[in-house]
Amino acid sequence: MAAIALAAVGSAACGFRPSGLADDDPTGDAAGAKDAATDDGATIDPIDGGARSALCDPADDTLRACFTFAGGAVTNGAGTTLSIDATQTTAAAGPVGDALGLGPTSVVHILETPALDFTTATSFEAFVRLDAAPPTGGRAGIYDDNGEWGVFVDDRRRPYCTHQIVFGPPLELGTWTHVACVFDGATVTIYIDGAKFDMVNRTAPLAVGADGSNIGQDSRTGGTSGDPLTGAIDELRVWSEARTPDEVAAAAARAR
């Protein structure tokens, strides 16, 4: 499978965009009218009349990955260069514009890169829609950097961070939920819809792996994958710093 720098189009998508969805442009300057449902541009918030901040800031060197999903494609809008392989993905209606539709045969793999290696601090956040629970005794990957850290859903539909195992509450099937995992060098905290749910201690640094990352699956040795998630993911961001509670809450509020 050939690596595609910065963007890869799922073979099932073929540029398809469901009717009525806004453009999903990480810079906010794609041609055409932008409405309040736009994924990434700074747009007018219909609730308070204020401007919605851009999802991806390529000038922010702590933002290591910022994935958007127009038409089933996987695009990184951060300032890093990532090589992405994506197959059997689809376009889905997300909480803010387009989302990435995933099924049992979908694979999204990011080749190994130092840009996504962290030891003392990192943050992950994304909107997640689980459409089917993992099988009994199994799990589904939301994001995984093999040998380093990951975010999964267990067979009880509970999201959890693997930096140091900490669980959130069961996800409702077919419902969008914002999930965030934050490691600050002393603790790992899981946030659900912008609110702190649980925290565990961890002072040991994270390991550095060699197999790359997967969106919507477990990333395995040699760049293979497993434990697919059936559902959709939107506004996935990875940082090289510990996000504050207010920053996590602001990310979750983008779906208002």
Q: What are phi and psi of 252, to 5 degrees?
A: -65, -30
Q: Where are the domains of the chain?
A: 4-255
Q: How confident is the model at residue 19 (pLDDT cuts 50, 70, 90)?
A: very low
Residue 223 confidence (pLDDT): 77
Which stretch of DSSP H or E encloses residue 201?
strand 195-201
Q: What are phi and psi of 15, to 5 degrees?
A: 80, 5
pLDDT in tens, 46-98: 333 344 578 999 999 999 999 999 988 999 999 999 999 999 999 999 999 99
User: How does strand 176-183 pair with strand 139-145?
Assistant: unpaired
Architecture field, domain 4-255: Sandwich (2.60)
Q: Give this prediction's pTM.
A: 0.81
Q: What is the largest CA-CA distance in the chain?
A: 49
Measured CA to CA, the distance from residue 87 to residue 107 in angstroms comes to 5
User: Is the model more confident about 103 or about 4?
Assistant: 103
User: Is the model more confident about 208 or about 223?
Assistant: 208
Q: How confident is the model at residue 44 (pLDDT cuts 50, 70, 90)?
A: very low
* Burial of 20 (C-beta count, 10 Å sphere; 0-12/13-18/19+): exposed
Q: What are phi and psi of 253, to 5 degrees?
A: -75, -10
